[in-house]
């Protein structure tokens, strides 16, 4: 394997070889925002990178299980990715609380009783320049588009933490975003471990770009520690250097990630 399929670690090289040699035994897990779709100021505008849908379709046809794992609602990501007609694709929304497949549709739990009050409190006291994203099972405050994103994030974080203690919700921190959701809620590592337990893959791949993906990379390392082959792919992001250090494959941007997935599916299908 040469060209776009290259790992900077020995373990990652072994993992890529295992994926290609036994695609049916592979679990391929992918973040959406920043990984398959470039980061944009308004999350509702997060269109997939060119070729992303074709790469997803090829991967879903080739590998045992392909799953998008996101903190967003599953239905939103299915729609943004244009994936409504992709067979054998699993979309785990809200870190695995929701599951979508073309065959079964969407499965989701009821919302936390503190969410209506949280929505009202956030709307009343939202820092200037911040935006609310309604996510169904959670509500997020974004500050990337504010004139001073860092100062606005600090103010939004203080507000969100106060609302969390008033409503019994939990706080989740991301890239210029802070989110309220049900406590005991999962992270991407939990979602991936649950899929591993369900599908029993021989090889695990995760591709992400952000600090919230850290538990997913830890799940990759744990899978490897248990004797499996595993690959962590990172779409380069200077805001998440600690996550970058854990990755086997680093690609410069979402287009390169799409090219990597295309090449991997092509190599495995041969
Ligand atoms: Mg991301």
**Mind listing the pLDDT tens digit for each residue in 78-95?**
999 999 999 999 999 999
Residue for token digits 């939004």?
Answer: 156
Expressed in angstroms and rounded, the spacing between residue 32 Cα and the centre of ligand 1 is 6
Measure the CA–CA gap between 89 and 107, rounded to whole angstroms: 14
Asked whether the beta carbons of 122 and 132 are under 8 A apart, the reply is yes
**Nearest CA among 95, 51, 90 for reference residue 72:** 95
Q: What residues pack around ion ligand 1 (CB closer than 5 A)?
A: 31, 33-34, 209-210
pLDDT of 250 over the 60 cut = yes
Give the distance (Å) from ligand 1 centre to CA of residue 42: 14
Ligand 1 centroid – CA 17 distance (Å): 25
* Residue 231 · residue 220 · CB < 8 Å: yes
pLDDT at residue 185 in the model: 63
10-108+186-269: CATH homologous superfamily?
Answer: HAD superfamily/HAD-like (3.40.50.1000)
Compute the distance between CA of residue 158 and CA of residue 64 in angstroms, rounded to an integer: 43
Q: What average pLDDT does the segment 1-28 reach?
A: 91
The predicted model scores a pTM of: 0.86
25-29, 56-60, 132-136, 153-157, range with the lowest pLDDT: 132-136
Which CATH class for the 115-181 domain? alpha beta
Domain ranges of the chain: 10-108+186-269, 115-181
pLDDT tens digits along 35-93: 999 999 888 899 999 999 999 999 999 999 999 999 899 999 999 999 999 999 999 99
Q: How much distance in Å is there from the Cα of 270 to the middle of ligand 1?
A: 30
How far away, in angstroms, is 119 Cα from ligand 1 center?
24
Distance from the alpha carbon of residue 224 to the mean position of ligand 1, in angstroms: 23
For residue 69, the CA-to-ligand 1 centroid distance in Å is 9
């Amino acid at each position: 394997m040469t060209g776009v399929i290259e790992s900077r670690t020995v373990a990652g090289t072994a993992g890529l070889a295992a994926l290609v040699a036994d695609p049916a035994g592979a679990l391929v897990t992918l973040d959406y925002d920043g990984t398959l779709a470039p980061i944009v100021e308004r999350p509702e505008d997060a269109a997939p990178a060119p070729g992303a849908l074709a790469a997803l379709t090829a991967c879903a046809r080739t590998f045992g299980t392909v799953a998008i794992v996101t903190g967003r609602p599953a239905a939103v990501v299915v729609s943004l990715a244009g994936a409504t007609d992709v067979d054998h694709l699993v979309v785990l929304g809200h870190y695995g609380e929701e599951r979508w497949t073309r065959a079964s549709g969407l499965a989701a739990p009821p919302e936390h009783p503190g969410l209506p009050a949280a929505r009202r409190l956030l709307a009343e006291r939202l820092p200037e320049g911040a935006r609310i994203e309604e996510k169904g099972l959670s509500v997020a405050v974004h500050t990337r588009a504010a004139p001073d994103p860092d100062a606005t994030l600090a103010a939004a974080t203080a507000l969100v933490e106060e609302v969390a203690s008033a409503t019994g919700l939990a706080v989740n921190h991301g890239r210029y975003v802070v989110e309220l959701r049900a406590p005991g809620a999962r992270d991407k590592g939990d979602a991936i471990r649950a899929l591993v337990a369900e599908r029993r893959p021989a090889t695990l791949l995760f591709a992400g770009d952000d600090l919230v993906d850290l538990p997913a990379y830890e799940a990759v390392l744990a899978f490897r520690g248990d004797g499996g082959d595993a690959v962590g792919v990172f779409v380069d992001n200077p805001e998440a250097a600690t996550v970058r250090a854990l990755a086997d494959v680093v690609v410069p941007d979402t287009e390169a990630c799409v090219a990597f997935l295309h090449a991997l599916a092509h190599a495995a299908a041969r």
